[in-house]
Amino acid sequence: MSAMAASAQTPAEPKVGLRERKKIKTRTAIREATYRLIMEQGYDATTVEQIAESAEVSPSTVFRYFPTKEDIVLTDEFDPILERELRSRPADESLIDSLRHVIDDSLHLALESDDPEVSRLRTRLQVEVPAVRSRMMESMSVTGDLMCRVIADRTGRDAGDLEVRVYAMALVGAMMEATMYWAQHDHEGELRDLVMRALDTVQHGL
């Protein structure tokens, strides 16, 4: 989930032809160009045209790889990891405990898979740039859906139940708030600890 400053690395190997390798290269080239330009000039001042030029592709191609400019910064692939890890936990464990374990085990995957500076840039943009923030919140609802499915499978409830959705939203929202808090406080301390505190709050209230 992008809400967690997750990795921006590219998916995995469907078929390792030249074609696929090139696509991955292009993808990361675009992303790296974007990060570089944004660090130099800021988000708004960086146009897709510049990104394209710097990544040595055409603007058309940029939009083929990423539906929107915000997505270049935000797209992450932590959701599948999250889902896999959650499902690998014992089914009788409470979801929130599972989450704690997964965060404990896998958060570093998300954070370390690319330059730490990039993680920090991304979380900062999530806080500072409205367009990025709203896109992130969009993606929050995707992660929320994921969470709903996990809950549904575990409890036998319907994934569309209001209660299920509210609970999922609370969990995902908590993780997102922890991430934003981290960014707002100059990334001091461990994100993991903040997430734990956030989850505690969901569980026990204030």
Minimal distance in Å, beta carbon 133 to a second copy?
7
- Sign for the CA dihedral angle at 64, 70, 72, 78 comes to negative
- Residue closer to DNA, measured from CB, 44 or 104: 44
Quick check: 68 binds DNA (CB under 7 A)?
yes
- Residue closer to DNA, measured from CB, 49 or 163: 49
- Residue closer to a second copy, measured from CB, 48 or 127: 127
In this structure, which long-range contacts are made by residues 19-28, counting pairs with CB atoms below 8 Å and at least 24 apart in sequence? 26/55, 26/57, 26/61, 26/65, 27/65
How many residues bind a second copy, per CB under 8 A? 35
Distance from C-alpha of 170 to C-alpha of 158, rounded to nearest angstrom: 17
Report 164-203 residues binding a second copy (CB under 8 A).
164-167, 169-170, 173-174, 176-178, 181, 194, 197-198, 200-203
The distance of Cα 202 from the centroid of its chain, to the nearest Å, equals 20
Cβ-based neighbours of 175, under 8 Å, separated by 6 or more: 1, 3, 4, 103, 195, 198, 199
Distance from C-alpha of 147 to C-alpha of 171, rounded to nearest angstrom: 9
- Residue closer to DNA, measured from CB, 19 or 204: 19
- Residue closer to a second copy, measured from CB, 70 or 114: 70
CB contact at 8 A, 33 and 40: no
Nearest Cα neighbor of 73 from 134, 147, 143, 141 is 134
Quick check: 59 binds DNA (CB under 7 A)?
yes
Instruction: Write out the H or E segment, with its range, that includes residue 30.
Output: helix 18-41
Cβ-based neighbours of 191, under 8 Å, separated by 6 or more: 4, 5, 107, 111, 178, 179, 182
Residue 133 contacts which entry, a second copy, DNA, none (Cβ below 5-8 A, type-dependent): a second copy
Quick check: 6 binds a second copy (CB under 8 A)?
no
Q: Which of 11, 12, 18, 204 binds DNA (CB under 7 A)?
A: 18
Minimal distance in Å, beta carbon 194 to a second copy?
6
- Residue closer to a second copy, measured from CB, 8 or 174: 174
Binding site for a second copy (CB under 8 A): 95, 130, 133-135, 137-138, 140-141, 151, 155, 157, 162-167, 169-170, 173-174, 176-178, 181, 194, 197-198, 200-203, 205-206
Applying CB under 7 A, the residues found at the interface with DNA are 15, 17-20, 22-23, 26, 46-49, 56-61, 63-65, 67-70
